[in-house]
Structure 1
């Protein structure tokens, strides 16, 4: 029993000794820790003595100005400005074919000639009957003046003359129907008939396509029907010709909204005198409704949707020197581009907004530290309001620190229509002479 009490007393003494050593070590290190605090507070550009060490770090970006293009994407297909399948009006046997596959033809050119022996004979007969009728009528006119025949005989010969003329016109029209003519200038397709074939009326012979200008048909959602109008430009690319942008002029907008898809039909025209495009091609369309110069934009990360409204957090100068605080502002957004949002109301060019760290800013007036991730030592606090205005972190990392803003010009080029293209890039600009066929009237096009 005495042995156990001895070891219990020794253990109690050991615990007391360890506690005393720990208390002494803690009291000795406290002065050195207090001396280090002023060094942290005295960091250059840190602001108040105790605030900056606890201020939340945020990333910011400046409100930029750039040119925004109001546009939307769609898919469409190409078709000929004029296209027709040639078919005979009457049946008959093919006598001659006056074209080759893929040949350019002119309006009124004879394409196919049918057997016409019978019709030629009927025309000759009609001419002979007309000659006799004219001679009889002339003779009757002379006899009436001499009172050798009655006036009724002269009227009968005149009527017979008119009948003979009508028969001649009918025979000539029947003969002409055996010639199939090109209805307009164009290019023939692949012929589907041969010499000697007997064709019924309405049988397919060959298609003729006018592709000096091709039409672009596409559809847009009904919400764009108030924006799209004739005369606007649409940029397009085709999968068959990658890397070659084309430009179309909107010619007409369908007044009828399709009930099934709630979309509106749009038709554009493309100058195709270089024959690069073909009817039936699939096209990716970028319809351009307009553009706005000097539009104010911010990174989309800065937008805070809340309760049906849109907010951003501005970084402004605090009441104390060299301090930055947060301020929540309601804004009205406009167009959206990849990574960018237009601000219509609520901000001014040059304002600084928070792009990362919103969750740390629960109320207005919160002191913040601006972190510039674009610098080699990322995470280093910015040194005051002048530096806080410079873009920092994320989408604004490419901005310069001297206040110059080449970003706006660069972004404008990125959202400009594809029709601008690159120098030397192949486009559908034609080197041919003459007016653009898409700008000519419908009558002139024919």
Structure 2
């Protein structure tokens, strides 16, 4: 029995030893397949050291800038008032009292048609009116002396009214042969000449009111809750590059187009310098709101995960030469090309990782900031050596233009601002118009404000008649 127990113990020990040897043999090649995994990088401590070299990342600072909540669309320009002059009756042109492209005033006689016959009819009507007036006066005197009956006075009074109506008819007929300017504006290019015979409804010349220019455009229906009367929009004209104009939203169509699911909007631009022309193609940026000190980060610094947005924030480590990456959830706002607004989670001046996020395997991991603006000689020198003289050594000399914390340098003040910072429109440059000629200076009240004030508004508290 004792020998059986000894055999059993020896067998168990042998099996355990064989299992251990087999495990060691199986795991030894896997452990040697990636010998560099446990080996520290160049410039770090030797295999007998205590830690590996931190991963390299690129960072940028959280910036404060002015940002606008806006939407872009396209539209067309049109005159505040425009009309095509056409005659109401047929006739031959005898006078043209305007020049192509010159300003005209309201009530100015522009075209005179042949009115010889109507003027003769006016003279005839005036003579008949004079006779009827004299007869009626004489009859009134005679009826006072009982020489005639009252019936004769009534008939003369009726004849006087008929003569007066004939004169009014002749004057109205003659007035229809005089074509006047309906409002102040600029005449277009006429299509008729003196001596032409015009039929009723024929085109003569167009009149355009250019003091204020309307810009008509459409926006998707999802913006109906944001757009309001009085909001401003920045207008860029392709034919006038480098110039930007401010339009004030004056009207919003209450009907949503069922075909395109869009709403019509009309804005007004002060055009007293006569730089804009009706029919121009316009690019409109409607501004819904502005924030002066918005926090912006590069778009590539976001790490989306499960419908949420995260960033890796770089903070100081235990010592001055150590940086640690912290995973922070942020709430984003408006997006712009290359930039995104941060509403919650960061503060101005914080550093976030913009490249190398995949190298940070855990929260709180030490990282090494890559210098992107170092001189070429220093880059070659750092690439060839390790240790303290390597490219990523803590004691490497930074160029004077780079910040001490290793972040990307800010753009100088003279550099072009990003697209989101250009929402503030600039005034038109000088009094020169689109054609290069001298234009009148803008004087008097803003025509867009006057136009808005002339728009009838419903009275507050008014009730329907049946209410």
Q: Determine the C-alpha separation between the residues in 2 that align with 1:327 and 1:192.
A: 75
1:162 aligns with 2:174: no
Q: Determine the C-alpha separation between the residues in 2 that align with 1:438 and 1:391.
A: 52
Q: Determine the C-alpha separation between the residues in 2 that align with 1:273 and 1:188.
A: 16
Q: Determine the C-alpha separation between the residues in 2 that align with 1:88 and 1:39.
A: 93
Q: CA shift at 1:371, angstroms?
A: 2.2
Give the counterpart of 2:441 among 418, 425, 431. 431
Higher relative contact order (CA 8 A, sep 6+): 1
The range that moved more, 427-436 or 208-217, is 427-436
The range that moved more, 114-123 or 424-433, is 424-433
Question: CA separation of 1:427/1:419 partners in 2, compared to 1, >3 Å: closer, same or farther?
Answer: farther
Question: CA separation of 1:425/1:319 partners in 2, compared to 1, >3 Å: closer, same or farther?
Answer: farther
TM-score (ref. length: structure 1): 0.78
1:314 aligns with 2:301: no
Q: CA shift at 1:90, angstroms?
A: 1.0
1:50 aligns with 2:50: yes
Q: CA shift at 1:407, angstroms?
A: 7.9
Q: Determine the C-alpha separation between the residues in 1 that align with 2:331 and 2:408.
A: 25
Q: Determine the C-alpha separation between the residues in 1 that align with 2:284 and 2:106.
A: 33
Structure-2 residue corresponding to 1:342: 341
Residues 124-162 of structure 1 show CA distances to partners (whole Å, capped at 9, x for unaligned) of: 121122112212221222222223333333223222222
1:397 aligns with 2:408: yes
1:351 aligns with 2:361: no
Is the partner of 1:216 in helix, strand or coil?
Answer: strand
* Counterparts of residues 356-435 of structure 1 (less than 5 Å): 356-376=355-375, 377=378, 380=392, 392=406, 397-399=408-410, 411=417, 415-417=421-423, 419-420=425-426, 431-435=441-445
Question: CA separation of 1:316/1:422 partners in 2, compared to 1, >3 Å: closer, same or farther?
Answer: farther
Q: Determine the C-alpha separation between the residues in 2 that align with 1:117 and 1:425.
A: 47
The range that moved more, 239-248 or 325-334, is 239-248
Residue correspondences, number: 393
Is the partner of 2:409 in helix, strand or coil?
Answer: coil
Could you list the runs of 5+ residues in structure 1 that have no partner in the other structure? Answer: 1-33, 43-48, 384-388, 400-404
Question: CA separation of 1:106/1:424 partners in 2, compared to 1, >3 Å: closer, same or farther?
Answer: closer
Structure-1 residue corresponding to 2:284: 285
Q: Determine the C-alpha separation between the residues in 2 that align with 1:156 and 1:434.
A: 58
Q: Determine the C-alpha separation between the residues in 2 that align with 1:279 and 1:152.
A: 65
* Counterparts of residues 127-276 of structure 1 (less than 5 Å): 127-276=126-275
Is the partner of 1:168 in helix, strand or coil?
Answer: helix
Aligned alpha-carbon RMSD (Å): 3.5
Q: CA shift at 1:342, angstroms?
A: 0.5
Question: CA separation of 1:80/1:421 partners in 2, compared to 1, >3 Å: closer, same or farther?
Answer: closer
Q: 1:77 touches 1:216 (CA, 8 Å); kept in 2?
A: yes
Q: Determine the C-alpha separation between the residues in 1 that align with 2:429 and 2:197.
A: 56
Q: CA shift at 1:73, angstroms?
A: 2.3
Could you list the runs of 5+ residues in structure 2 that have no partner in the other structure? Answer: 1-38, 380-390, 396-402, 456-467
Question: CA separation of 1:233/1:390 partners in 2, compared to 1, >3 Å: closer, same or farther?
Answer: farther
TM-score (ref. length: structure 2): 0.74
Give the counterpart of 2:44 among 40, 51, 62. 40
Structure-1 residue corresponding to 2:102: 103
Q: Determine the C-alpha separation between the residues in 1 that align with 2:222 and 2:247.
A: 21
Q: Determine the C-alpha separation between the residues in 2 that align with 1:204 and 1:182.
A: 14
